[in-house]
Amino acid sequence: MSEELDRFYREKAARIKDLGVNQPFREASRGFLKESLKVDYSYNFSWLGRPIIQYPQDIVALQEIIWATKPKLIVETGVAHGGTSVFLASMLELLGGEGMVLSLDIEIRAHNRPLIENHPLAKRIKLLEGDSIGPEAIAEAQSLAERYGPTMVMLDSSHTHDHVLAELRLYSKLVTKGCYLVVFDGVVEQFPELYSNNARPWGPGNNPLTATRAFLAENDDFIIDWDLLNKLAITAAPEGYLIRK
């Protein structure tokens, strides 16, 4: 590496470290995140024609870690409109080879399925309808992990503590050393004032972040990527970017 590039990366690392303790920046980021949640900001974007219900910062983060770790299989729970499935497939297409996305959901809605299955990148997406912690889903994920090798997992289905903790215990076993296990929507725990009266079965004290903390307390195979989270600042996955050691 040239001296100029070495300096660039050292300065970048120093900036990211400083962001983690920059309170005005953290408070401004938290303020934006809180206001954006009120207006469903993350519902406004698409990827290659399909709605992708993610924050742009998380999309960029996923791009970085996929390019760096080069998984051959990406398992995602939660499909919605399929935008994240298409995004993941597009990254695997850029990496080349036979990489595949396994997209699991309790219900793949009739108006979404044909648009995903007829997408130009559908060859890299396998849809499976059913409970993500059910035996069929686990068996399929295990089979594909054995076939493809390096595996990454993203959890974004039912957001209750018990369901996410069950997913973490099951799917963490598939994640390859050096690859990521990403847990979305722990942001619920950060804003009890927004979610205390949530009509859904999850909320403060019962959500992906509480499940992630419980999982990490019982499993020392994963660590949180704090550098990534510090530079993101705005994310739906606080404490949710986990690397297998």
Compare 201 and 197 and report the one with higher pLDDT.
201
Contact 190, 213 (CB under 8 A): no
Q: Which domains does the chain have, with CATH numbers?
A: 3-244 (3.40.50.150)
In terms of Cβ atoms closer than 10 Å to its own Cβ (0-12, 13-18, 19+), residue 147 is exposed
Per the DSSP assignment, residues forming a β-bridge with 180 are 243
Sheet holding 73-77, edge to edge: 125-129, 100-105, 73-77, 151-155, 180-183, 241-244, 222-224
Residue 68 sits at φ, ψ, to 5 deg, of -75, -40
User: Model pTM?
Assistant: 0.96
How far is C-alpha 188 from the chain's CA centre? 15
pLDDT in tens, 55-94: 999 999 999 999 999 999 999 999 999 999 999 999 999 9
pLDDT at residue number 20: 93
Q: What percent of the chain has pLDDT over 90?
A: 97
pLDDT tens figures, 207-232: 999 999 999 999 999 999 999 999 99
Residue 199 pLDDT exceeds 90? no
pLDDT in tens, 101-141: 999 999 999 999 999 999 999 999 999 999 999 999 999 99
